[in-house]
């Protein structure tokens, strides 16, 4: 979904050339247009609730998004928390069933094959993450009565409970690069790490963040395994060996490490920003109206494809100012 224009004959209305795309950002849902007082100003009104997945090209060296966007997984309509398979070719995400409390895990081929559900039941299954070797997908689910960390194989077999805290709800698992540990979050605040390669070992709780009304929620493990990135009213790092926190920004959610282990992408004010963990330098990469970015990205191992859920609903109204079009050729009889 993007905004396009076409040259037309002012008398007959016949087109006089191919359509031209004039909005670089994609939109998450269909929209209607209302002309304002001047031809260069339009009101865009999105008219359907939607959370749709998009595949962005990324230049990891420059830390820049490319004008290379593909709309993927058109169905189901409420899709979020994408994560690409370590070997490529597939992506897993969660999909809510409108009007119910049900959320399923969906596996989709990036080659165009129809998505298929890994789970299809009345439970809330969300936050899927591939293990580094691609053998399992961790996620959180309330199928055991409380929200706990579970795992399933890509073919839908091998469903098992991986981590839990008696009497509490935990969510959003994050694999370590070597696949031996999982970080996850308490629903009431605070983070834990558990060794999944040692059966029965109890989770280790991370220290509390020494800030009022702030609890650390991890979302990405650094490539070298030394640091967890997460959010707590902004982007925060936790150095595991030193057991200390480092605040990077005062705003933003769900950071994701780039392969260089120095920069992170994160959701910020409905868009995407990038920050250098060493200097704190932040830049805006993407902002799109009438869409907003759903926090929680999926990044390929080489850092060249970024999977993002864009959201829109019937409350979204945007005012757009169009740049002046190029003047028509001397022989053209129409206008843009």
Give yes or no: residues 275 and 326 share one domain: no
pLDDT in tens, 281-327: 999 999 866 678 999 999 999 999 999 998 876 666 777 777 665 54
Give yes or no: residues 208 and 89 share one domain: yes
Give yes or no: residues 56 and 39 share one domain: no
For 43, phi and psi rounded to 5 degrees?
A: -100, 125
For 99, phi and psi rounded to 5 degrees?
A: 80, 0
Query: Hey, what's the torsion of the CAs at 251, 254, 259, 261, to 10 degrees?
Result: 50
> Average pLDDT over the chain, rounded to whole?
87
Q: Where are the alpha helices (DSSP H) in 208-316?
A: none
Give yes or no: residues 203 and 56 share one domain: yes
The 3-class SS string of 187-234 reads CCCCEEEEECCCCCCCCEECCCCCCCCCCCEEEEECCCCCEEEEECCC
Give yes or no: residues 133 and 180 share one domain: yes
Bridge partners of residue 118, in order along the sequence: none
Give yes or no: residues 54 and 191 share one domain: yes
Give yes or no: residues 91 and 179 share one domain: yes
Give yes or no: residues 298 and 332 share one domain: no
Give yes or no: residues 203 and 334 share one domain: no
Asked if pLDDT for residue 60 goes beyond 60, the answer is yes
Q: How many domains does the chain have?
A: 2
Please compute the mean of the pLDDT values over residues 141-151 and round it to a whole number.
Answer: 95
Is the separation of the CB atoms in 118 and 130 below 8 Å? no
Asked if pLDDT for residue 37 goes beyond 70, the answer is no
Asked if pLDDT for residue 25 goes beyond 90, the answer is no
Is the separation of the CB atoms in 170 and 187 below 8 Å? yes
Tokens of 88: 């490529």
Structural domain for 171, as ranges? 50-312
Q: Please tell me the pTM assigned to this model.
A: 0.84
Strands 292-299 and 305-312, sheet pairing: antiparallel
Least confident of 26-30, 120-124, 302-306, 310-314: 26-30
Give yes or no: residues 234 and 182 share one domain: yes
CATH number where 203 lies:
2.120.10.30
Query: For the chain, how many residues are written?
Result: 336
DSSP 124: B
Give yes or no: residues 138 and 262 share one domain: yes
Per-residue model confidence (pLDDT) at position 32 = 73
DSSP 36: -
Give yes or no: residues 166 and 180 share one domain: yes
Q: Give 213's pLDDT tier (boundaries 50, 70, 90).
A: confident
């Amino acid at each position: 979904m993007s905004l396009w224009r076409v040259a037309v004959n002012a008398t007959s209305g016949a087109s006089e050339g191919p359509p031209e795309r004039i909005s670089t950002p994609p939109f998450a849902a269909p929209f209607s247009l209302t002309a304002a007082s001047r031809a260069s100003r339009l009101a865009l009104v999105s008219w359907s609730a939607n959370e749709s997945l998009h595949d962005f090209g990324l230049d990891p060296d420059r830390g820049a998004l490319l004008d290379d966007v593909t709309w993927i997984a058109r169905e189901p309509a409420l899709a979020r928390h994408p994560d690409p398979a370590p070997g490529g070719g597939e992506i897993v995400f969660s999909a809510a069933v409108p009007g119910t409390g049900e959320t399923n895990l969906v596996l989709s081929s990036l080659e165009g094959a129809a998505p298929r559900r890994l789970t299809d039941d009345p439970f809330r299954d969300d936050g899927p993450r591939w293990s580094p070797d691609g053998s399992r997908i961790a996620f959180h689910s309330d199928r055991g009565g409380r929200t706990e960390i579970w795992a399933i194989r890509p073919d839908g077999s091998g469903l098992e409970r991986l981590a839990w805290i008696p009497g509490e709800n935990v969510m959003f698992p994050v694999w370590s690069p070597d696949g031996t540990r999982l970080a996850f979050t308490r629903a009431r605040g605070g983070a834990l790490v558990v060794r999944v390669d040692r059966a029965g070992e109890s989770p280790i709780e991370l220290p509390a963040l020494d800030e009022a009304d702030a609890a650390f929620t991890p979302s990405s493990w650094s490539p070298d395994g030394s640091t967890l990135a997460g959010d707590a009213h902004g982007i925060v790092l936790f150095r595991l060996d030193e057991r200390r926190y480092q605040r990077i920004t005062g705003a933003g959610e769900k950071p994701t490490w780039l392969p260089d282990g120095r920069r992170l992408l994160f959701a910020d004010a409905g868009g995407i920003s990038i920050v250098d963990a060493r200097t704190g330098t932040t830049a805006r990469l993407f902002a799109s109206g009438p869409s907003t970015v759903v926090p929680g990205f999926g990044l390929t191992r080489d850092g060249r494809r970024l999977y993002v859920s864009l959201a829109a609903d019937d409350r979204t109204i945007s005012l757009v100012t169009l740049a002046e079009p190029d003047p028509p050729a001397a022989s053209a009889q129409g206008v843009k």
